[in-house]
Structure 1
Amino acid sequence: MTEMESIPNSRATSAHVARLDRTLKDLQKKVKEQEEALKKLRAAGKPIQEQPDSNKDIQLLQISKIKSTFDALTPVEPYAPLPDSPLPSLLALRTTHSTTNEAKSALVITKNDLSHVEDLLRKETADLEDGRLVENALQTRISALETAIEKHVQKPKAQVAKDMMRGLKNKKARYDMGTVMLVKSFNEFIDDHLAVMLAAEELGGPVVGELLDIDEANLEAGFNAQGKARKPKDPLSEVGRQKRIDEIWKPQPERERRAQEPWNETTAAAAEMREVTEQLLNNLVEADGGMNGGYVELDRESAAARFLVRSRVAQFHPKDARRLRLIDFGKDLVS
């Protein structure tokens, strides 16, 4: 800004300040006049009687005085600021500022309410969709049942019984096939992934799942006190290795030894895992779902048992850590 441009701005500011000063003095003058008039009224008048008098004549006189006072004040023009006074602008600015703040506060409240309503709408929409899906499923099921009932009504009882037996046999065949596939997948998982990690944990290595790239060389060399694989220096003799295997796991039966060679740590861990799982399944079936049955007596706390417990598949007896049972997922978990 140049010097010539700053001179008019300075003059405008000075004039505005002068108008503000005159307006302030004028308002102070009016306030003093009103205060003086109020003092005179208080000094000359009697105390105001707020409640109307019980006497009708005195009450009528009071009303007449009030009316006379209003009639005397009605012709008096109210105070208005001078034409060049900045007071109207200041009042308008104050009103605008107050309205803007109120609008901002209302906007924040409205946004919060809108967010809450949108969340509620999304929840209600999801519930409505779930309800429609359930309704469609129920209608489909009802239609299927009605169709089955019509077919059964039209057939003799002997034919209905044969159809039901045929359906049960087909379901059993499907379940048997599914069981075979599950057992096959389970055995493959043990042989390909789990057995070597179980053997490593038994030999003092990391817990199952902490180290995935474990091989037979690590099992042969063993692990140190920190659970890290030792560097193979002198290979362990076959006799010593078989002795170590027999000490940790059970010795392999002769018929299995002939059918499966060699009997190393991985195959021993896989065999133990299968044996423990089979015992757990058989005991659970024999226990018929009883909460106090289905336990297997363990010879020792093996890596296989610990893995099943960590996987939330099995649980130890609350008072005997040598007894293990499968968790019945249809009932509450026993602590």
Structure 2
Amino acid sequence: MNQVGKNMKPEITTLRKFRDMIAYMNLPVFSYIDNDDFAIIKIHDMGLKMPYITPTFRPDFYTLIIVSEGKGTFMAGDHVFELGAQHVFMKYPDSYLSSGWTESPIGYNISFTEEFLTKYFPDGIDEIPAKDKTNAFNYGLSDEDYKLFDDICAEMYNEAISSSKNRYEMIANLLIHFLLLVQQYQNKIKLEIQNEKNALILASFFKNVDQNFNMLLSGDSSTVLRTKEHSKLLNVNETFLSKVISKTSGRTINQWINDRLIDEISYLLKNTHTPIPEIAQIFAFTDLKYFYTFFKKNTKTTPSSVRNDFNASDSDRAHVYRGEVVKIRTNW
């Protein structure tokens, strides 16, 4: 294994499908995983050699991690989550994800798309827990509560490897049960959806924001959508949309978009060598001076300081990429 150098950055791939990611890491793609809309694997059966680090992906699916043992660090966007024994981690689609394990994990990794639930349990879409600005959450559970999650995962796994014609219907039901349990632990999320219409608008707004940033990063768009553009996409009045988003999420449209901008910009500053003017251009800042003003207003620091401080730091999240604890595999 080669250690990650002091100034090296994690490889950012363009892969978004689960099976492609597993194959890219030279990990086993088990024969029972026959599509990209759902997969469940036992992490301890993957042959991970400690310490283990993944490249950076931008998955188009939901990720669920449940571990009874092990220790790892997950990066979702620009946010860090420490996983340990009896943790449940969930990440939403369309944001960067990478991870490093320093102690061998025992547990399950589940991936699923909205298309999977729509096909096999349409009503279950409403049971996907509401997200916050981190695009992920992580809970430590008691023995009793963890067993509930673990038992569901064991049932899902047994269905996945079976030859039952109705296995995906059974899995979808079990997945909904899992998501309902997750909702009980969303103590950090205080969204109060007043009615189904507002909930749908909020979910559609989040999806449009995700799509907008995906297109910015791929070079397919040069515009950051704001209230006017989002109201047109959703076919609602600007004032009405502003009130719905503020009332149901507790945050304004601009707060959501500005925080997402800062998150995406900060990630590229810390984890790539992309020149700052190029990062500004990616996110539709045509005036570099305004880019610096915007960033400092929202972070109280400068883009250069964020990059330099991160490169010079020995923080817990930095070590995962620099090799002080986690080594990278030679064939990456």
TM-score w.r.t. structure 2 length? 0.20
Bigger fraction of residues in helix: 1
Bigger fraction of residues in strand: 2
Q: Which has the higher contact order (CA 8 A, sep 6+)?
A: 2
